[in-house]
Amino acid sequence: MLSGIYATLRRNDAPGTAGNVAPVPGEAHYSAKCAVFGFPREPAAAFPQDVEPDLMDSFEVNKILGAVLGTLLFITAVGIGSDFLFLPETPVKPGYVVPGVPAAGAESTGPTQPTEEPLPDFGTVLKTADVAKGKEISQRCQQCHDLSKGGPDKIGPNLWGIVNRPRASRSSYSYSSAMASSHAPWTYENLFRYLRSPQEIVPGTKMTFAGLPSAQDRIDLIAYLRTLSDSPAPIPPPAPAAPAKTPAAGKAAPGAKPATPAKPG
C-alpha cells in the first residue's frame, strides 16, 4: 500500500509522464499563480499589445482584494450583530452562595440568627407526621434519655410528657445552669428549634447532641414525643389560608368580609 503511493509519487516526479504537468522551461519561477500578486509573468513587453495580460492580472488582484476586504467586513458585521443577539445577562441571584456572607440586596435581619429557618405550621404538619418514624428517630435520644412514664433520669432527664413541660423542671435531675436559666415550656416550636442545634439554642447546655438537621425528622420525632403523655398536648388549629388567596375568595363571595391577617401569638 505505502510502497504503491511511493511509486506513484516517484512516477509523478518523472518529466513528461501522463497525468502530470510537465515543467515548462523558463516558467519554473513565474507560474500563473504568482501573477495574481503582480509579479510579471514574463519580462516587460516591448509592444503595447503585450501589456494586456498584465492588465488582466490587475483585475484579478482587485477581485481577490475585494473578496478579502468583503470577507473581513462581513466578519466584523457579524461580530457586531452577534453582540446584540447574545447580550450577556447578569444573573439576578448569584449562582453560588457563600455561607455567612449576606447576599447583595438581601435585607439582613441582624447578626444574631444567620441560620434562622421558617417554623412549620404545627396545626398542619403534626396531623400528617409519621409517628412511627418519629419513634425510630427517638432511639437516638434514648442513649441519654428514658422516655417511659415514671422512668429514671439517665445522662439526660426523663422525657415523659416533655411537650409543654416547663424547661428544667425535674427536681430529681441536676440541670446545667444554662438549661436552668429558663423555665419556658417546651412548646412544639421550642422543641423544633432546640432539636435542630441544641448548643446554638441553649449555649452551654450539657446535652452533647449535634442535632437533627432535617425539619421533617424533627416534626416526626415531636409528633412521637407528644404521644408520651397521659393527656397529649392539643394540636393547634391550622393557620388560616395565606392572604394571597383572599382577593379571589372576595370575588367569589361579594358579601364576605375581607379576611383579617392572623394576630401573632
Binding stretches for ligand HEC (CB under 6 A): 140-141, 143-145, 155-157, 159, 162, 167-170, 175-176, 178-179, 186, 195, 205-209, 212
Residue 214, C-alpha cell as written in the block: 432535617
CB atoms inside a 10 Å sphere around CB 145:
20
State in angstroms the smallest separation of the CB of 215 from ligand HEC: 13
At its nearest, how many Å lie between ligand HEC and the CB of residue 166? Answer: 8
Q: Report the nearest approach of ligand HEC to the CB of residue 261 (Å).
A: 32
Pick 60 or 130: Cβ nearer ligand HEC: 130
- Distance separating alpha carbons of residues 255 and 126, to the nearest angstrom: 34
Which CB sits closer to ligand HEC, 57 or 186? 186
E strands present in 84-242? none
The sign one gets for the Cα dihedral 79, 81, 85, 87 is: positive
CB-wise, 36 or 154, nearer to ligand HEC?
154
Task: Quote the least distance from Cβ 119 to ligand HEC, whole Å.
Answer: 17
- State in angstroms the smallest separation of the CB of 257 from ligand HEC: 42
Closer residue to ligand HEC, CB minimum distance, 35 or 207 = 207
Quote the CA–CA distance of 41 and 35 in Å, as a whole number.
Answer: 6
Measured from the CB atom, the residue of 133 and 170 that comes closer to ligand HEC is 170
The DSSP secondary structure of 45-88, one letter per residue, reads PSSGGGGHHHHHHHHHHHHHHHHHHHHHHHHHHHHHHHHHHTPP
Instruction: Please name the amino acid found at residue 195.
Output: L
H or E element in which residue 20 lies: none
Cα 37 from Cα 70, distance rounded (Å): 18
